[in-house]
Structure 1
Amino acid sequence: MTSTAASASVVVDGAYELAEGGRWFDGRYVYVDILSGRLFELRDDRHDVGPIELACLDVPLGAVAPVSDRPGTWIAAAGTGIALLTPDGTLDWLDRPEDRTPVPSRMNDGVADPAGRFWAGSMAYDGTPGAGSLYRTDLDGTVVRVLDGLTIANGPAFTADGTTMYLADTAVGTVLRCRVDPVSGDLVGGPETFVRLRQEEGSPDGMTVDEEGCLWVALWGAGAVRRYDPDGRLLDTLIVPAPHPTSVCLHPDDNRLFVTTARYGVRNPTATSGAVLSLPAPVRGGPACSWRGAL
Protein backbone atom coordinates (compact mmCIF):
# COMPACT_ATOMS: atom_id res chain seq x y z
CA MET A 1 0.00 0.00 0.00
CA THR A 2 1.22 3.51 -0.79
CA SER A 3 -0.44 6.53 0.76
CA THR A 4 -0.40 9.98 -0.82
CA ALA A 5 0.70 13.29 0.66
CA ALA A 6 -2.92 14.48 0.65
CA SER A 7 -3.74 12.08 3.51
CA ALA A 8 -1.35 13.85 5.89
CA SER A 9 -2.50 16.69 8.14
CA VAL A 10 -0.38 19.26 9.97
CA VAL A 11 -0.82 18.86 13.73
CA VAL A 12 1.79 21.49 14.65
CA ASP A 13 3.24 23.99 12.20
CA GLY A 14 6.14 24.69 14.49
CA ALA A 15 8.87 25.71 12.04
CA TYR A 16 11.19 23.50 14.09
CA GLU A 17 14.74 23.19 12.86
CA LEU A 18 15.04 19.53 13.78
CA ALA A 19 11.94 18.09 15.46
CA GLU A 20 12.60 14.53 16.66
CA GLY A 21 11.94 11.87 19.27
CA GLY A 22 8.13 11.73 19.14
CA ARG A 23 6.67 9.41 21.82
CA TRP A 24 3.29 8.81 23.51
CA PHE A 25 3.39 8.97 27.31
CA ASP A 26 0.30 8.93 29.52
CA GLY A 27 -2.13 10.59 27.08
CA ARG A 28 0.34 13.07 25.64
CA TYR A 29 2.62 13.24 22.65
CA VAL A 30 6.11 14.41 23.61
CA TYR A 31 8.81 15.51 21.17
CA VAL A 32 11.95 17.64 20.99
CA ASP A 33 13.53 20.25 18.77
CA ILE A 34 17.08 18.95 19.00
CA LEU A 35 19.25 21.91 18.10
CA SER A 36 17.30 24.45 20.17
CA GLY A 37 17.23 22.11 23.17
CA ARG A 38 13.46 22.36 23.62
CA LEU A 39 10.97 19.77 24.88
CA PHE A 40 7.27 19.94 23.97
CA GLU A 41 4.07 18.07 24.71
CA LEU A 42 0.67 17.84 23.04
CA ARG A 43 -2.18 16.74 25.31
CA ASP A 44 -4.45 14.22 23.65
CA ASP A 45 -7.44 15.68 25.49
CA ARG A 46 -6.63 19.36 24.79
CA HIS A 47 -6.30 19.77 21.03
CA ASP A 48 -7.25 23.44 21.34
CA VAL A 49 -4.21 24.29 23.47
CA GLY A 50 -1.48 23.37 21.00
CA PRO A 51 2.08 22.45 21.96
CA ILE A 52 3.29 23.28 25.48
CA GLU A 53 6.99 23.93 26.00
CA LEU A 54 8.17 21.87 28.97
CA ALA A 55 11.85 22.76 28.92
CA CYS A 56 14.41 24.85 27.07
CA LEU A 57 18.03 23.79 27.57
CA ASP A 58 21.30 25.43 26.64
CA VAL A 59 22.49 22.18 25.01
CA PRO A 60 21.00 20.07 22.21
CA LEU A 61 18.24 17.70 23.36
CA GLY A 62 18.07 14.41 21.47
CA ALA A 63 15.24 12.56 23.23
CA VAL A 64 13.62 11.94 26.61
CA ALA A 65 11.75 9.25 28.50
CA PRO A 66 9.74 9.76 31.70
CA VAL A 67 11.24 8.67 34.99
CA SER A 68 8.99 6.18 36.76
CA ASP A 69 7.37 7.43 39.98
CA ARG A 70 8.83 10.92 39.57
CA PRO A 71 6.16 13.01 37.78
CA GLY A 72 7.60 15.80 35.68
CA THR A 73 11.12 14.33 35.69
CA TRP A 74 12.69 12.96 32.49
CA ILE A 75 15.80 11.07 31.60
CA ALA A 76 17.35 12.90 28.69
CA ALA A 77 19.90 12.30 25.97
CA ALA A 78 21.25 15.85 25.99
CA GLY A 79 24.43 17.66 25.12
CA THR A 80 27.31 15.24 25.54
CA GLY A 81 25.62 12.72 27.81
CA ILE A 82 22.70 11.45 29.87
CA ALA A 83 20.99 13.53 32.54
CA LEU A 84 17.87 13.73 34.65
CA LEU A 85 15.78 16.71 33.59
CA THR A 86 13.85 17.99 36.61
CA PRO A 87 10.51 19.85 36.51
CA ASP A 88 12.30 23.19 36.93
CA GLY A 89 14.47 22.56 33.87
CA THR A 90 17.65 21.64 35.72
CA LEU A 91 19.95 18.94 34.34
CA ASP A 92 21.37 16.47 36.86
CA TRP A 93 24.10 14.69 34.89
CA LEU A 94 24.56 10.93 35.19
CA ASP A 95 27.51 10.87 32.77
CA ARG A 96 28.85 12.84 29.82
CA PRO A 97 30.77 10.22 27.81
CA GLU A 98 30.88 12.31 24.64
CA ASP A 99 33.15 14.77 26.48
CA ARG A 100 35.80 12.06 26.18
CA THR A 101 35.60 11.57 22.40
CA PRO A 102 38.27 12.84 19.96
CA VAL A 103 35.86 14.96 17.90
CA PRO A 104 33.08 17.33 19.05
CA SER A 105 29.95 15.19 19.41
CA ARG A 106 26.45 15.22 20.84
CA MET A 107 23.77 12.81 21.92
CA ASN A 108 20.99 11.96 19.49
CA ASP A 109 17.82 9.84 19.63
CA GLY A 110 16.97 7.60 22.57
CA VAL A 111 14.24 5.42 24.10
CA ALA A 112 13.48 3.39 27.23
CA ASP A 113 13.11 -0.37 26.84
CA PRO A 114 10.39 -2.55 28.42
CA ALA A 115 12.73 -3.45 31.31
CA GLY A 116 13.11 0.23 32.21
CA ARG A 117 16.60 0.92 30.87
CA PHE A 118 17.33 3.97 28.68
CA TRP A 119 19.21 3.64 25.39
CA ALA A 120 20.58 6.55 23.35
CA GLY A 121 22.93 7.08 20.44
CA SER A 122 25.46 9.76 19.61
CA MET A 123 27.08 11.37 16.57
CA ALA A 124 29.89 13.77 15.70
CA TYR A 125 28.74 17.26 14.77
CA ASP A 126 30.61 16.99 11.46
CA GLY A 127 29.43 13.45 10.76
CA THR A 128 32.87 11.87 11.20
CA PRO A 129 32.49 8.22 10.13
CA GLY A 130 32.58 5.79 13.03
CA ALA A 131 32.53 8.48 15.73
CA GLY A 132 29.06 7.61 17.05
CA SER A 133 28.16 5.20 19.83
CA LEU A 134 25.16 3.58 21.48
CA TYR A 135 24.79 3.90 25.26
CA ARG A 136 22.62 2.11 27.81
CA THR A 137 21.67 3.70 31.12
CA ASP A 138 21.01 0.99 33.68
CA LEU A 139 18.64 1.17 36.64
CA ASP A 140 21.43 2.23 39.00
CA GLY A 141 22.24 5.22 36.77
CA THR A 142 25.39 3.71 35.26
CA VAL A 143 25.91 4.70 31.62
CA VAL A 144 27.48 1.92 29.53
CA ARG A 145 28.82 2.16 25.98
CA VAL A 146 27.22 -0.80 24.21
CA LEU A 147 28.33 -0.25 20.61
CA ASP A 148 30.86 2.02 18.95
CA GLY A 149 31.99 2.56 15.37
CA LEU A 150 28.62 3.99 14.36
CA THR A 151 28.30 7.27 12.46
CA ILE A 152 24.82 8.66 13.25
CA ALA A 153 23.19 6.35 15.80
CA ASN A 154 19.45 6.89 15.52
CA GLY A 155 16.00 5.62 16.43
CA PRO A 156 16.46 2.79 18.92
CA ALA A 157 13.19 0.81 18.90
CA PHE A 158 12.26 -2.29 20.90
CA THR A 159 9.83 -5.15 20.47
CA ALA A 160 7.21 -5.46 23.21
CA ASP A 161 9.09 -8.27 24.99
CA GLY A 162 12.33 -6.29 25.01
CA THR A 163 14.37 -9.05 23.36
CA THR A 164 14.95 -7.28 20.04
CA MET A 165 16.28 -3.79 19.45
CA TYR A 166 16.42 -2.04 16.09
CA LEU A 167 19.06 0.65 15.59
CA ALA A 168 19.60 2.87 12.56
CA ASP A 169 22.95 4.15 11.40
CA THR A 170 21.55 6.96 9.31
CA ALA A 171 24.71 7.99 7.47
CA VAL A 172 25.43 4.53 6.10
CA GLY A 173 21.81 3.61 5.30
CA THR A 174 21.48 0.56 7.52
CA VAL A 175 19.02 -0.65 10.14
CA LEU A 176 20.63 -3.09 12.55
CA ARG A 177 18.83 -5.74 14.59
CA CYS A 178 20.26 -6.68 17.97
CA ARG A 179 19.20 -9.48 20.28
CA VAL A 180 19.01 -8.27 23.88
CA ASP A 181 19.04 -10.21 27.13
CA PRO A 182 15.99 -8.63 28.79
CA VAL A 183 17.37 -9.33 32.29
CA SER A 184 20.90 -7.96 31.97
CA GLY A 185 20.47 -5.65 28.98
CA ASP A 186 23.53 -7.18 27.33
CA LEU A 187 23.54 -7.81 23.59
CA VAL A 188 23.34 -11.47 22.64
CA GLY A 189 25.84 -11.83 19.82
CA GLY A 190 26.67 -9.01 17.46
CA PRO A 191 24.25 -6.78 15.57
CA GLU A 192 22.99 -8.03 12.23
CA THR A 193 21.86 -6.01 9.24
CA PHE A 194 18.07 -5.94 9.10
CA VAL A 195 17.66 -3.54 6.16
CA ARG A 196 20.22 -1.84 3.93
CA LEU A 197 18.93 1.13 1.91
CA ARG A 198 20.29 2.52 -1.32
CA GLN A 199 21.10 6.24 -1.35
CA GLU A 200 18.10 7.06 -3.53
CA GLU A 201 15.77 5.37 -1.00
CA GLY A 202 16.64 7.85 1.75
CA SER A 203 18.38 7.42 5.09
CA PRO A 204 16.81 5.61 8.07
CA ASP A 205 16.07 7.93 10.98
CA GLY A 206 13.56 7.53 13.85
CA MET A 207 11.78 4.19 14.26
CA THR A 208 9.04 2.46 16.22
CA VAL A 209 7.56 -1.04 16.51
CA ASP A 210 3.79 -1.50 16.14
CA GLU A 211 1.34 -3.82 17.92
CA GLU A 212 1.98 -6.53 15.32
CA GLY A 213 5.75 -6.45 15.80
CA CYS A 214 6.47 -4.62 12.54
CA LEU A 215 9.05 -1.85 12.27
CA TRP A 216 8.25 1.66 11.05
CA VAL A 217 11.15 3.76 9.74
CA ALA A 218 11.28 7.47 8.89
CA LEU A 219 13.35 8.02 5.74
CA TRP A 220 15.32 11.27 5.88
CA GLY A 221 15.74 12.77 2.42
CA ALA A 222 13.05 10.62 0.84
CA GLY A 223 9.83 12.13 2.22
CA ALA A 224 8.56 8.70 3.18
CA VAL A 225 7.92 6.26 6.02
CA ARG A 226 8.28 2.52 5.54
CA ARG A 227 6.85 -0.44 7.43
CA TYR A 228 8.75 -3.74 7.52
CA ASP A 229 7.67 -7.10 8.87
CA PRO A 230 9.97 -8.89 11.36
CA ASP A 231 11.65 -10.75 8.49
CA GLY A 232 12.70 -7.50 6.81
CA ARG A 233 10.05 -7.62 4.08
CA LEU A 234 8.72 -4.22 3.01
CA LEU A 235 4.98 -4.02 3.69
CA ASP A 236 3.93 -0.37 3.26
CA THR A 237 5.30 2.97 2.14
CA LEU A 238 3.61 6.17 3.27
CA ILE A 239 4.45 9.36 1.40
CA VAL A 240 5.10 12.33 3.69
CA PRO A 241 4.77 15.93 2.38
CA ALA A 242 8.19 16.93 3.72
CA PRO A 243 11.61 15.75 2.53
CA HIS A 244 13.04 15.06 5.99
CA PRO A 245 10.78 12.98 8.27
CA THR A 246 12.72 12.35 11.46
CA SER A 247 10.64 10.24 13.86
CA VAL A 248 7.54 8.05 13.80
CA CYS A 249 5.09 7.32 16.60
CA LEU A 250 1.86 5.32 16.48
CA HIS A 251 -1.02 6.42 18.69
CA PRO A 252 -1.80 3.68 21.25
CA ASP A 253 -5.59 4.17 21.06
CA ASP A 254 -6.18 5.39 17.52
CA ASN A 255 -5.02 4.39 14.06
CA ARG A 256 -2.84 7.43 13.53
CA LEU A 257 0.85 7.81 12.78
CA PHE A 258 2.58 10.94 14.06
CA VAL A 259 5.67 12.08 12.17
CA THR A 260 8.10 14.83 13.10
CA THR A 261 9.95 16.59 10.29
CA ALA A 262 12.90 18.97 9.92
CA ARG A 263 13.60 22.28 8.19
CA TYR A 264 17.32 21.61 8.52
CA GLY A 265 18.86 21.17 5.09
CA VAL A 266 15.67 22.16 3.20
CA ARG A 267 16.26 25.00 0.73
CA ASN A 268 12.66 26.12 0.33
CA PRO A 269 10.80 24.82 3.37
CA THR A 270 7.02 24.80 3.50
CA ALA A 271 4.69 24.54 6.49
CA THR A 272 5.19 20.77 6.56
CA SER A 273 8.96 21.00 7.06
CA GLY A 274 9.74 21.41 10.75
CA ALA A 275 6.22 20.31 11.68
CA VAL A 276 4.37 17.49 13.41
CA LEU A 277 2.21 15.57 10.93
CA SER A 278 -0.54 12.98 11.34
CA LEU A 279 -1.38 10.23 8.85
CA PRO A 280 -3.87 7.36 9.00
CA ALA A 281 -2.24 4.04 9.85
CA PRO A 282 -3.42 0.42 9.60
CA VAL A 283 -2.25 -0.46 13.12
CA ARG A 284 -1.64 1.06 16.53
CA GLY A 285 1.41 1.30 18.73
CA GLY A 286 2.01 1.04 22.43
CA PRO A 287 2.74 3.77 24.95
CA ALA A 288 6.44 4.47 25.37
CA CYS A 289 8.29 2.97 28.32
CA SER A 290 9.69 4.78 31.37
CA TRP A 291 13.17 4.67 32.84
CA ARG A 292 12.76 2.78 36.11
CA GLY A 293 16.00 3.79 37.73
CA ALA A 294 16.20 4.11 41.51
CA LEU A 295 18.60 6.87 42.51
Structure 2
Amino acid sequence: MSGVEPRSVLSVGATLGEGPVWVARDAALWFVDIKGQRIHRFDPELDVARSWATPGQVGWVLPTNDGLFAVGLQSGIHRFDPANASFTLLHAPEAHLPGNRQNDACVAPDGALWLGSMDDAEQDASGRFYRYHQGRCVETGLPPVSITNGPALSPDGRILYHTDTLGKRIWSSTLDDDGAVRDTSLFVQIEEDAGYPDGPTVDAEGCLWTGLFGGWAVRRYDPAGALIREIRFPVANITKIAFGGDDLSVAYATTARKGLDEKALAAQPLAGDLFAFDPGATGLPGFHASV
Protein backbone atom coordinates (compact mmCIF):
# COMPACT_ATOMS: atom_id res chain seq x y z
CA MET A 1 0.00 0.00 0.00
CA SER A 2 1.10 3.62 -0.40
CA GLY A 3 0.31 6.82 1.43
CA VAL A 4 0.72 7.73 5.09
CA GLU A 5 -2.85 8.93 5.59
CA PRO A 6 -4.73 6.18 7.45
CA ARG A 7 -7.63 4.63 5.61
CA SER A 8 -10.41 2.38 6.83
CA VAL A 9 -9.94 -1.19 5.60
CA LEU A 10 -12.66 -2.90 7.64
CA SER A 11 -15.88 -1.33 8.84
CA VAL A 12 -16.76 -3.04 12.11
CA GLY A 13 -17.97 -0.11 14.22
CA ALA A 14 -16.21 -1.51 17.27
CA THR A 15 -17.26 -0.07 20.59
CA LEU A 16 -13.74 -0.65 21.88
CA GLY A 17 -11.49 -2.16 19.21
CA GLU A 18 -8.21 -3.37 20.69
CA GLY A 19 -5.31 -5.81 20.59
CA PRO A 20 -4.44 -6.07 16.87
CA VAL A 21 -1.90 -8.80 16.13
CA TRP A 22 -0.61 -10.12 12.82
CA VAL A 23 -0.62 -13.93 12.75
CA ALA A 24 1.74 -15.05 10.00
CA ARG A 25 0.48 -18.64 9.90
CA ASP A 26 -2.95 -17.27 8.90
CA ALA A 27 -1.68 -14.29 6.88
CA ALA A 28 -4.36 -12.42 8.79
CA LEU A 29 -4.84 -9.72 11.38
CA TRP A 30 -6.68 -10.66 14.58
CA PHE A 31 -8.16 -8.15 17.01
CA VAL A 32 -10.98 -7.79 19.53
CA ASP A 33 -13.90 -5.55 20.42
CA ILE A 34 -13.75 -5.54 24.22
CA LYS A 35 -17.18 -4.10 24.93
CA GLY A 36 -18.78 -5.69 21.88
CA GLN A 37 -17.47 -9.06 23.11
CA ARG A 38 -16.16 -10.16 19.71
CA ILE A 39 -12.96 -11.60 18.25
CA HIS A 40 -12.29 -10.49 14.67
CA ARG A 41 -10.09 -11.94 11.95
CA PHE A 42 -9.26 -9.91 8.81
CA ASP A 43 -7.60 -11.37 5.70
CA PRO A 44 -6.32 -8.35 3.74
CA GLU A 45 -5.34 -10.35 0.66
CA LEU A 46 -8.87 -11.66 0.17
CA ASP A 47 -10.50 -8.66 1.87
CA VAL A 48 -12.69 -10.92 3.98
CA ALA A 49 -13.40 -10.96 7.69
CA ARG A 50 -14.90 -13.30 10.24
CA SER A 51 -15.84 -12.83 13.87
CA TRP A 52 -16.69 -14.88 16.93
CA ALA A 53 -18.77 -13.99 19.99
CA THR A 54 -16.99 -14.29 23.34
CA PRO A 55 -18.51 -15.26 26.72
CA GLY A 56 -17.63 -11.95 28.36
CA GLN A 57 -15.44 -8.93 27.75
CA VAL A 58 -12.32 -9.87 25.80
CA GLY A 59 -9.10 -7.86 26.11
CA TRP A 60 -6.76 -9.64 23.69
CA VAL A 61 -6.19 -12.63 21.41
CA LEU A 62 -2.73 -14.09 20.72
CA PRO A 63 -1.52 -17.21 18.85
CA THR A 64 -0.27 -20.23 20.78
CA ASN A 65 2.30 -22.88 19.91
CA ASP A 66 -0.39 -25.55 19.52
CA GLY A 67 -2.04 -23.79 16.57
CA LEU A 68 -4.80 -22.23 18.65
CA PHE A 69 -5.08 -18.96 20.56
CA ALA A 70 -4.84 -17.60 24.07
CA VAL A 71 -7.57 -15.13 24.91
CA GLY A 72 -7.90 -12.71 27.83
CA LEU A 73 -11.50 -12.80 29.02
CA GLN A 74 -12.72 -10.95 32.09
CA SER A 75 -12.85 -14.32 33.87
CA GLY A 76 -9.23 -15.20 33.06
CA ILE A 77 -6.84 -16.60 30.46
CA HIS A 78 -8.54 -19.04 28.10
CA ARG A 79 -7.55 -21.26 25.18
CA PHE A 80 -9.67 -20.42 22.13
CA ASP A 81 -10.30 -22.79 19.24
CA PRO A 82 -11.75 -20.91 16.23
CA ALA A 83 -12.83 -24.19 14.60
CA ASN A 84 -15.56 -24.81 17.16
CA ALA A 85 -15.64 -21.42 18.91
CA SER A 86 -14.76 -23.04 22.24
CA PHE A 87 -13.13 -21.34 25.23
CA THR A 88 -11.27 -23.35 27.89
CA LEU A 89 -10.13 -21.67 31.11
CA LEU A 90 -6.37 -21.95 31.70
CA HIS A 91 -5.90 -19.61 34.66
CA ALA A 92 -7.85 -16.94 36.56
CA PRO A 93 -5.23 -14.54 37.98
CA GLU A 94 -7.80 -12.19 39.49
CA ALA A 95 -10.71 -14.36 40.58
CA HIS A 96 -10.67 -12.32 43.80
CA LEU A 97 -11.21 -9.06 41.85
CA PRO A 98 -14.52 -9.45 39.98
CA GLY A 99 -14.55 -5.75 39.09
CA ASN A 100 -11.33 -6.10 37.10
CA ARG A 101 -10.91 -7.27 33.52
CA GLN A 102 -7.97 -8.04 31.24
CA ASN A 103 -7.00 -5.27 28.86
CA ASP A 104 -3.85 -5.93 26.78
CA ALA A 105 -1.03 -8.45 26.34
CA CYS A 106 1.97 -9.53 24.27
CA VAL A 107 4.12 -12.64 23.75
CA ALA A 108 7.83 -12.67 24.64
CA PRO A 109 10.52 -14.50 22.63
CA ASP A 110 10.47 -17.32 25.21
CA GLY A 111 6.73 -17.84 24.69
CA ALA A 112 5.68 -16.14 27.92
CA LEU A 113 2.49 -14.10 27.96
CA TRP A 114 2.79 -10.65 29.49
CA LEU A 115 -0.63 -9.25 30.33
CA GLY A 116 -2.29 -6.43 32.19
CA SER A 117 -5.58 -5.97 34.01
CA MET A 118 -7.66 -2.93 34.87
CA ASP A 119 -10.61 -1.71 36.89
CA ASP A 120 -13.57 -2.06 34.55
CA ALA A 121 -15.09 1.06 36.13
CA GLU A 122 -11.85 2.94 35.38
CA GLN A 123 -11.63 4.32 38.91
CA ASP A 124 -9.71 2.16 41.39
CA ALA A 125 -5.97 1.48 41.12
CA SER A 126 -6.50 -2.28 40.89
CA GLY A 127 -4.87 -3.01 37.52
CA ARG A 128 -1.72 -5.13 37.59
CA PHE A 129 0.76 -6.74 35.20
CA TYR A 130 1.39 -10.51 35.08
CA ARG A 131 3.69 -12.98 33.37
CA TYR A 132 2.08 -16.31 32.40
CA HIS A 133 4.27 -19.12 31.06
CA GLN A 134 3.51 -22.83 30.72
CA GLY A 135 0.73 -22.77 33.29
CA ARG A 136 2.48 -20.58 35.88
CA CYS A 137 1.29 -17.02 36.50
CA VAL A 138 3.40 -14.50 38.43
CA GLU A 139 2.54 -10.92 39.36
CA THR A 140 5.34 -8.60 38.22
CA GLY A 141 5.32 -6.41 41.31
CA LEU A 142 4.87 -3.22 39.28
CA PRO A 143 2.73 -0.60 41.07
CA PRO A 144 -1.02 -1.06 40.48
CA VAL A 145 -2.84 1.51 38.35
CA SER A 146 -6.43 1.94 37.21
CA ILE A 147 -5.91 1.21 33.48
CA THR A 148 -2.88 -0.78 32.35
CA ASN A 149 -1.92 -0.97 28.69
CA GLY A 150 0.67 -3.12 27.00
CA PRO A 151 3.05 -4.42 27.90
CA ALA A 152 5.36 -4.42 24.88
CA LEU A 153 8.93 -5.66 24.53
CA SER A 154 12.09 -4.29 22.91
CA PRO A 155 13.52 -6.28 19.97
CA ASP A 156 15.96 -8.13 22.25
CA GLY A 157 13.25 -8.87 24.81
CA ARG A 158 15.20 -7.14 27.60
CA ILE A 159 13.09 -3.99 28.02
CA LEU A 160 9.45 -4.08 29.07
CA TYR A 161 7.31 -1.06 28.20
CA HIS A 162 4.12 -0.66 30.23
CA THR A 163 1.51 2.07 30.28
CA ASP A 164 -0.48 3.85 32.98
CA THR A 165 -3.18 5.21 30.71
CA LEU A 166 -4.97 7.57 33.10
CA GLY A 167 -1.63 8.81 34.42
CA LYS A 168 -0.58 9.48 30.80
CA ARG A 169 2.73 7.74 31.44
CA ILE A 170 4.65 5.04 29.59
CA TRP A 171 7.28 3.31 31.73
CA SER A 172 10.22 1.10 30.83
CA SER A 173 11.73 -1.69 32.94
CA THR A 174 14.62 -4.05 32.39
CA LEU A 175 14.05 -7.80 32.57
CA ASP A 176 16.25 -10.45 34.14
CA ASP A 177 16.79 -13.80 32.45
CA ASP A 178 14.05 -15.30 34.63
CA GLY A 179 11.57 -12.58 33.68
CA ALA A 180 11.89 -10.60 36.91
CA VAL A 181 11.22 -6.87 36.44
CA ARG A 182 13.96 -4.42 37.48
CA ASP A 183 14.96 -0.76 37.21
CA THR A 184 11.69 0.91 36.23
CA SER A 185 11.92 4.48 34.91
CA LEU A 186 9.65 6.94 33.13
CA PHE A 187 9.91 6.58 29.35
CA VAL A 188 7.32 9.12 28.15
CA GLN A 189 4.90 11.53 29.80
CA ILE A 190 2.08 12.48 27.42
CA GLU A 191 1.33 16.20 27.60
CA GLU A 192 -2.07 17.69 28.37
CA ASP A 193 -4.67 17.82 25.56
CA ALA A 194 -2.86 15.12 23.54
CA GLY A 195 -5.09 12.24 24.56
CA TYR A 196 -4.29 9.18 26.64
CA PRO A 197 -1.58 6.63 25.77
CA ASP A 198 -3.24 3.35 24.86
CA GLY A 199 -1.69 0.16 23.52
CA PRO A 200 2.09 0.24 22.84
CA THR A 201 3.90 -1.60 20.01
CA VAL A 202 7.63 -1.80 19.25
CA ASP A 203 9.01 -1.84 15.70
CA ALA A 204 12.13 -3.49 14.27
CA GLU A 205 14.25 -0.40 15.01
CA GLY A 206 13.31 -0.50 18.68
CA CYS A 207 11.02 2.51 18.45
CA LEU A 208 7.78 2.52 20.40
CA TRP A 209 4.40 3.35 18.84
CA THR A 210 1.38 4.21 20.95
CA GLY A 211 -2.23 4.87 20.10
CA LEU A 212 -3.69 8.03 21.64
CA PHE A 213 -7.22 7.58 22.94
CA GLY A 214 -8.94 10.92 22.46
CA GLY A 215 -5.81 12.23 20.73
CA TRP A 216 -6.66 11.66 17.04
CA ALA A 217 -3.22 10.15 16.39
CA VAL A 218 -0.58 7.50 16.83
CA ARG A 219 2.94 8.45 17.85
CA ARG A 220 6.39 6.96 17.38
CA TYR A 221 9.09 7.46 20.01
CA ASP A 222 12.75 6.52 19.65
CA PRO A 223 14.42 4.21 22.23
CA ALA A 224 15.45 7.26 24.28
CA GLY A 225 11.83 8.46 24.53
CA ALA A 226 12.03 11.32 22.00
CA LEU A 227 8.98 11.91 19.81
CA ILE A 228 9.97 11.37 16.19
CA ARG A 229 6.64 10.99 14.38
CA GLU A 230 2.92 11.61 14.73
CA ILE A 231 0.28 10.36 12.29
CA ARG A 232 -3.15 11.96 12.49
CA PHE A 233 -6.42 10.04 12.06
CA PRO A 234 -9.96 11.02 11.07
CA VAL A 235 -11.23 9.53 14.35
CA ALA A 236 -10.43 10.47 17.94
CA ASN A 237 -9.85 7.15 19.68
CA ILE A 238 -6.91 5.15 18.34
CA THR A 239 -6.20 2.22 20.63
CA LYS A 240 -3.24 0.22 19.25
CA ILE A 241 -1.32 -0.62 16.09
CA ALA A 242 0.18 -3.84 14.75
CA PHE A 243 2.55 -4.40 11.84
CA GLY A 244 1.32 -6.85 9.22
CA GLY A 245 1.69 -8.13 5.69
CA ASP A 246 4.34 -10.45 4.29
CA ASP A 247 7.16 -8.04 5.15
CA LEU A 248 5.49 -6.49 8.22
CA SER A 249 5.50 -3.08 6.53
CA VAL A 250 1.80 -2.24 6.86
CA ALA A 251 0.51 -0.71 10.09
CA TYR A 252 -3.00 -1.67 11.19
CA ALA A 253 -4.78 0.38 13.85
CA THR A 254 -7.82 -0.43 15.95
CA THR A 255 -10.15 2.38 17.00
CA ALA A 256 -13.13 2.87 19.28
CA ARG A 257 -16.57 4.45 19.43
CA LYS A 258 -16.58 4.32 23.24
CA GLY A 259 -17.26 7.67 24.89
CA LEU A 260 -18.48 9.39 21.73
CA ASP A 261 -21.90 11.00 21.83
CA GLU A 262 -24.29 11.21 18.87
CA LYS A 263 -22.78 14.48 17.65
CA ALA A 264 -19.25 13.10 17.79
CA LEU A 265 -20.27 9.88 16.05
CA ALA A 266 -21.94 11.87 13.27
CA ALA A 267 -18.68 13.76 12.79
CA GLN A 268 -16.62 10.54 12.94
CA PRO A 269 -18.50 7.97 10.83
CA LEU A 270 -15.40 5.75 10.67
CA ALA A 271 -14.98 5.53 14.44
CA GLY A 272 -14.54 1.91 15.50
CA ASP A 273 -13.15 0.79 12.13
CA LEU A 274 -9.87 -0.99 11.45
CA PHE A 275 -7.41 1.32 9.68
CA ALA A 276 -4.20 0.77 7.73
CA PHE A 277 -1.34 3.09 6.79
CA ASP A 278 2.28 3.08 5.65
CA PRO A 279 4.37 3.63 8.80
CA GLY A 280 7.73 3.98 7.08
CA ALA A 281 9.03 1.23 9.35
CA THR A 282 8.68 -2.53 9.71
CA GLY A 283 7.51 -4.62 12.61
CA LEU A 284 8.97 -7.49 14.56
CA PRO A 285 8.05 -11.12 13.83
CA GLY A 286 5.46 -12.37 16.26
CA PHE A 287 5.91 -15.21 18.75
CA HIS A 288 3.57 -18.00 19.82
CA ALA A 289 2.58 -18.29 23.45
CA SER A 290 3.60 -21.40 25.38
CA VAL A 291 0.53 -21.89 27.51
* TM superposition score normalised by structure 1: 0.90
Give the deviation of 1:143 after TM superposition: 1.6
Q: Is the 8 A contact 2:211 2:238 kept in 1?
A: yes
Which residue does the alignment assign to 1:218? 211
- What runs of 5+ residues in structure 1 fail to find an aligned partner? none
Which residue does the alignment assign to 2:189? 196
- The CA distance in 1 between the partners of 2:17 and 2:36, in whole Å, is 10
- The CA distance in 2 between the partners of 1:110 and 1:283, in whole Å, is 22
Matches of residues 82-231 of structure 1 in structure 2 within 5 Å? 82-87=77-82, 88-101=84-97, 104-139=99-134, 141-146=135-140, 147-181=142-176, 183-189=177-183, 191-231=184-224
Q: Is the 8 A contact 1:173 1:197 kept in 2?
A: yes
Kindly, what percent of the aligned residue pairs are identical? 29
- The CA distance in 2 between the partners of 1:133 and 1:228, in whole Å, is 24
Give the deviation of 1:52 after TM superposition: 1.1
Runs of 4+ in 1 over 4 A off after TM superposition: none
Q: Is the 8 A contact 1:94 1:143 kept in 2?
A: no
Q: Is the 8 A contact 1:23 1:287 kept in 2?
A: no
RMSD: 1.7
CA deviation vs aligned residue, 1:102-149 (integer Å, no higher than 9, x gap): x6111111111111100111111111232111111012x112111341
* TM superposition score normalised by structure 2: 0.91
Which of 58, 62, 66 is matched with 1:61 structurally?
Answer: 58
Give the deviation of 1:81 after TM superposition: 1.8
Count of residues paired in the alignment: 280
Matches of residues 276-291 of structure 1 in structure 2 within 5 Å? 276-291=274-289
Between stretches 252-261 and 272-281, larger displacement belongs to: 252-261
Q: Would you say 1:251 and 2:247 are equivalent positions? A: no
Give the deviation of 1:97 after TM superposition: 2.5
Between stretches 234-243 and 77-86, larger displacement belongs to: 77-86
- The CA distance in 1 between the partners of 2:74 and 2:85, in whole Å, is 14
- The CA distance in 1 between the partners of 2:290 and 2:144, in whole Å, is 28
- The CA distance in 1 between the partners of 2:189 and 2:248, in whole Å, is 31
